[in-house]
Structure 1
Amino acid sequence: MSLLVVGMSHRTSPISVLERAALDGTGARQLAAAACSSGSAAEAVVLATCNRLEVYAEVDAFHAGVRDLAAAISGSTGLPVEELGEHLYFHHGERAVDHLFTVAGGLDSMAVGESQVLGQVRAALRRGQEDGTVGRTLDHLLQQALRVGKRVQTETGLDRAGHSLVEAALDGAEAVVGDLAAARALVVGAGSMSALAATTLHRRGVARVTVANRTPARARRLAEAVGGDAVPLTDEAALRAALAAADVVVSCTGAVGHVLDARAVAAARAERPGRGGAGPAPQLVVDLALPRDVDPAVAALEGVVVVGLAELRERLARTPSAPGAGLGAGLALARAIVEEEVLAHQAEQRAAAVAPTVTALRSLARDVVDAEVGRLRSRLGADADPRTVAEAERAVHRVVDKLLHTPTVRVKALAADGEHGASYAAALRELFGLEGESSLDSRAGAVGALASADVSSSASVAQVLAAVPAPVPTAPPAPPADGGAA
């Protein structure tokens, strides 16, 4: 068995596909159950967020696992596999572990470093535990992922990076729009970064904050938290009016494609009041999304100043004392933490994989000792001194324990430090005539199947499925020569 993740996210799918594939908690439960009932997955857990849908599963075969997980996603979302294939990605084995830890650390999020994803991973684990789709392997792995995510937050401060970016973006706002106490702001989006922007604007004393979002209920909740109002992002007239009134616009929706294009902003500026009889009053547009929410052509509109993530990071790099200036260093440290934790997980898995060999070796030794002690007792008879027999038995056990100490400790150390543990375990099994196969060999076989497929995790699921040869039809049995019933 080995770990496989098949999924889609803001990095591979347009917002239209992500919206159609979105699942609530009930849908996520049903998808995990479908994955487990497919025949390929022994355990499964589903991570479903506003910009991510992933199935993590323990599978015994790579190609069958990809095929069955993709089919389960298709069945749960109603999207055909043919349409989903180019948007779905996969990670297998160690790369799947690295991906999960990266996600839990907030490094694969739309807003890098955001901590909301930890709660989403925790909710996914809880659903799997309640429904029985998560067993010992995935339970342990997701608990590790939660610990890695918490460690990234604690040791890097990346969970504060988003706050620093918002603060840095607004530091130059008054130079563009004047006194913030008399300004109005529009926040496009209602996710964690948008919520941070809205609360920061409110704390800085902005006169009024309006929130626009595709889901009106989420927009209203965020607007109420800052004493503002909400408009549907899909209502062009309402959005244009909010854009025309806003001095500061902050956008971070997680959409693929431009949410604010030059045509919409130009139309809003045509309705925007001027300042002192001149043209429309200046506006600051802050784009915190990746990919960008704001059409680059907006920056060419007269009176509009656009600030994006690239500009913010350059500004912070030029000013080491500015808030969030350590973002780059924080990202590097976070990545180092993830790599360290992945290596630790691999060492733990390798050590656990040779445990059956150690157990079998010690069991064999125990059987040999018990047999020899039994023969000794039989030879000495009932008149033998019990203390002498007991001391002889202890001496035999001590000798065997000392003889087994070095090979058992060494095989665990080799497994933890590198790939030699598998060959050492195989040698022990061969030398001592131990039956069965180590679980590490089984895992290596699963990964070997992936290597022989001549694909990598950078390929899409569609490419993997296309590489699977069509099943050869089984010919019906030939009728008996005499034409009678078989």
Structure 2
Amino acid sequence: MSLLVVGLSHRSAPVSILERASLPSDTQAKLLQDTLAAEPAAEATVLATCNRIELYADVDKFHAGVAELSTLLAQHSGVGLEELTPYLYVHYEDRAVHHLFSVACGLDSMVVGEGQILGQIKDALALGQDLHTAGRLLNDLFQQALRVGKRAHSETGIDRAGQSLVTFGLEQLAQDTAVENWAGCKKALVIGAGSMSSLAAATLARAGVAEIVIANRTLARAERLAEILAEPGGTGVAARAAEMVAVGDELGRADIVVSCTGATGLVLTGDAVEAAAAGRDEPLYLLDLAMPRDIDAAAHRIPGVRLVDIESLADASADAPMAHDVDQVRGIVSDEVAAFGAAQRAAHITPTVVALRTMAADVVASEVARLEGRLPGLDDKQRAEITQTVRRVVDKLLHAPTVRVKQLASEPGGAGYADALRTLFDLDPETVASVSRADLNDADVKNRGRV
């Protein structure tokens, strides 16, 4: 089996395609279940954010895997395959590992170095584990990606190179305006109560906004976020929750609006924004971080309204900052990809080595039993000494070859050594497979406790 990723992102597709190809959480679950039902895939998980959709799978056939995963992405995203195909990218084996590690470090983000992607990778792994679609390969891969991302942020200055999308968006919103900071804003309206909206609310609170209103379809989540913001141990800002039906009224009283929901249609229409902007003395600032968009793009043409959305952020992030830090992170990624590949290749041969030693132990037991039949006068001490001697001989004969074959297997192109061992020693394929299944079950238990 081999690692394959098929996806699209802000680097490969225009925002108009990304908007239409977004995957709600229930659709992600159905996509993974259908991927496992497809013949080429043994395990799978999906990384879906506001600016990328990537389907990771362990497949036994490359071309069939690419065709199947591409078709499944098209079916579940609602974008036709012919329209979607030009924007898809494919990564295989080490290139797929390199891609995910780069993503985890923020190298492939719209804002280079942003750290929120680590939480999204963790969510992708958790989804695969909850649905039992992520097996040993994807568990190992995503766990290691999280470690690589954390290493990049702790060992380099990539954090200086990038900001969160929220911070970057607020900075872009303030450019070419009279706003020096957001402390002068009396009221902020945050639409949505997910991770991005929560980050936006906390960022605005720390910036000194006087009041924050959280509007969400599930009022309880909005109330909980408002409570956290208002707690003395939190930001201490004046915060309250509002139902979505009250967004129109709240919009008219807000100075800045940040929206990031999972809605499939517009949350704020052009007419609603125009009505809110009418008669205002101060500009109305709108930051749309949703994909697909929450705020009508026509709002940027309304007098007194300043709108920044994902599309304009993509244009503004074209400059590559902090080249030295980025180069450092790239070095970390390259080293970690090599180490991960070596570990996976070594792990691939382990079941074969275990099966070989099991066969050797069975031969020893059989020969000792035959000897006991021919020499019935052996006492317990003699029998134990003979058994131990035979075992030592077998262990010494197997030690150097098994150590060396593990070393060779960890090198590029070393996958064939497992096949060679099975052929040379005529090992039972089912015995090898049973060891693999046992290892997989053990790994699943351990990995589920680490997320």
Do the two structures share a fold, i.e. TM-score over 0.5? Answer: yes
Within 2, Cα distance between the matches of 1:194 and 1:96? 30
Residue 29 (structure 1) aligned with residue 29 (structure 2): yes
Tell me the C-alpha RMSD between the 2 structures.
4.7
- Please, which of 382, 402, 412 is the counterpart of residue 388 of structure 1? 382
1:139-180 CA deviation, whole Å, 9 max, x = no partner? 23222222222333333353453179969x97xx89984875
Q: Aligned-pair distance for 1:366? A: 2.1
Residue 400 (structure 1) aligned with residue 394 (structure 2): yes
Please tell me whether the aligned partners of residues 186 and 250 of structure 1 are also in contact (alpha carbons under 8 angstroms): no
Matches for 1:425-464 after TM superposition, within 5 Å: 425-434=418-427, 436=429
Which residue of the partner structure matches residue 44 of structure 1? 44
Which residue of the partner structure matches residue 372 of structure 1? 367
Matches for 1:136-215 after TM superposition, within 5 Å: 136-159=136-159, 161-162=162-163, 177=178, 203=206
Query: Alpha carbons of 1:30 and 1:148: their partners in 2 closer, same or farther (altered >3 Å)?
Result: same
Query: Alpha carbons of 1:197 and 1:158: their partners in 2 closer, same or farther (altered >3 Å)?
Result: farther
Query: Alpha carbons of 1:266 and 1:413: their partners in 2 closer, same or farther (altered >3 Å)?
Result: same
Please tell me whether the aligned partners of residues 35 and 44 of structure 2 are also in contact (alpha carbons under 8 angstroms): yes
Which residue of the partner structure matches residue 459 of structure 1? none
Which residue of the partner structure matches residue 415 of structure 1? 409
Query: Alpha carbons of 1:312 and 1:102: their partners in 2 closer, same or farther (altered >3 Å)?
Result: closer
Which residue of the partner structure matches residue 7 of structure 1? 7
Within 2, Cα distance between the matches of 1:85 and 1:148? 30
Within 2, Cα distance between the matches of 1:406 and 1:385? 33
Please tell me whether the aligned partners of residues 8 and 53 of structure 1 are also in contact (alpha carbons under 8 angstroms): yes
Q: Aligned-pair distance for 1:30? A: 0.7
Residue 328 (structure 1) aligned with residue 329 (structure 2): no
**Higher-RCO chain (CA-CA 8 Å, sequence separation at least 6):** 1
- Please, which of 245, 265, 270 is the counterpart of residue 235 of structure 1? 270
Which residue of the partner structure matches residue 338 of structure 1? 333
Which residue of the partner structure matches residue 112 of structure 2? 112
Please tell me whether the aligned partners of residues 125 and 139 of structure 2 are also in contact (alpha carbons under 8 angstroms): yes
Please tell me whether the aligned partners of residues 4 and 90 of structure 2 are also in contact (alpha carbons under 8 angstroms): yes
Q: Aligned-pair distance for 1:237? A: 8.1
Which residue of the partner structure matches residue 76 of structure 2? 76
Query: Alpha carbons of 1:108 and 1:364: their partners in 2 closer, same or farther (altered >3 Å)?
Result: same
How many residue pairs are counted as aligned between the two chains? 391
TM-score, normalised with respect to structure 2: 0.69
Query: Alpha carbons of 1:89 and 1:423: their partners in 2 closer, same or farther (altered >3 Å)?
Result: closer
1:371-413 CA deviation, whole Å, 9 max, x = no partner? 3222322221x22232112211111111111111111111112
Within 2, Cα distance between the matches of 1:189 and 1:309? 24
1:300-336 CA deviation, whole Å, 9 max, x = no partner? xxxxxxxx556794xxxxxxxxxxxxx4333223222
Matches for 1:219-298 after TM superposition, within 5 Å: 228-229=254-255, 230=257, 234-235=269-270, 238=273, 253=289, 268=303, 292-293=312-313
Secondary structure of residue in 2 paired with 1:46: strand
* The 10-residue stretch of structure 1 (14-23 or 393-402) with the greater mean CA deviation from structure 2: 14-23
Secondary structure of residue in 2 paired with 1:85: helix
- Residue type of the partner of 2:402? T
1:228-285 CA deviation, whole Å, 9 max, x = no partner? 543876527837986997789797858899x999x987874xx79xxxxxxxxxxxx9
- Residue type of the partner of 1:369? V
Query: Alpha carbons of 1:85 and 1:62: their partners in 2 closer, same or farther (altered >3 Å)?
Result: same
Please tell me whether the aligned partners of residues 186 and 209 of structure 2 are also in contact (alpha carbons under 8 angstroms): yes
Query: Alpha carbons of 1:239 and 1:64: their partners in 2 closer, same or farther (altered >3 Å)?
Result: farther
Query: Alpha carbons of 1:240 and 1:415: their partners in 2 closer, same or farther (altered >3 Å)?
Result: farther
Query: Alpha carbons of 1:90 and 1:242: their partners in 2 closer, same or farther (altered >3 Å)?
Result: farther
Secondary structure of residue in 2 paired with 1:354: helix
Which structure 1 segments of 5+ residues have no match?
A: 273-284, 296-307, 314-326, 440-486
Please tell me whether the aligned partners of residues 47 and 124 of structure 2 are also in contact (alpha carbons under 8 angstroms): yes
- Percent of residue pairs identical: 45
Query: Alpha carbons of 1:118 and 1:246: their partners in 2 closer, same or farther (altered >3 Å)?
Result: farther
Q: Aligned-pair distance for 1:135? A: 2.4
Within 1, Cα distance between the matches of 2:369 and 2:307? 83
Query: Alpha carbons of 1:233 and 1:366: their partners in 2 closer, same or farther (altered >3 Å)?
Result: same
Matches for 1:285-324 after TM superposition, within 5 Å: 292-293=312-313, 308-309=316-317, 313=321
Within 2, Cα distance between the matches of 1:201 and 1:234? 24
Secondary structure of residue in 2 paired with 1:86: helix
Q: Aligned-pair distance for 1:29? A: 0.4
Q: Aligned-pair distance for 1:369? A: 2.0
Which residue of the partner structure matches residue 278 of structure 1? none
Please tell me whether the aligned partners of residues 189 and 252 of structure 1 are also in contact (alpha carbons under 8 angstroms): no
Query: Alpha carbons of 1:174 and 1:205: their partners in 2 closer, same or farther (altered >3 Å)?
Result: farther
Q: Aligned-pair distance for 1:124? A: 2.2
Q: Which has the larger radius of gyration?
A: 1
Query: Alpha carbons of 1:347 and 1:377: their partners in 2 closer, same or farther (altered >3 Å)?
Result: same
Q: Aligned-pair distance for 1:80? A: 1.8
Query: Alpha carbons of 1:246 and 1:63: their partners in 2 closer, same or farther (altered >3 Å)?
Result: farther
Q: Aligned-pair distance for 1:56? A: 1.1
Please tell me whether the aligned partners of residues 36 and 43 of structure 2 are also in contact (alpha carbons under 8 angstroms): yes
Within 2, Cα distance between the matches of 1:21 and 1:420? 37
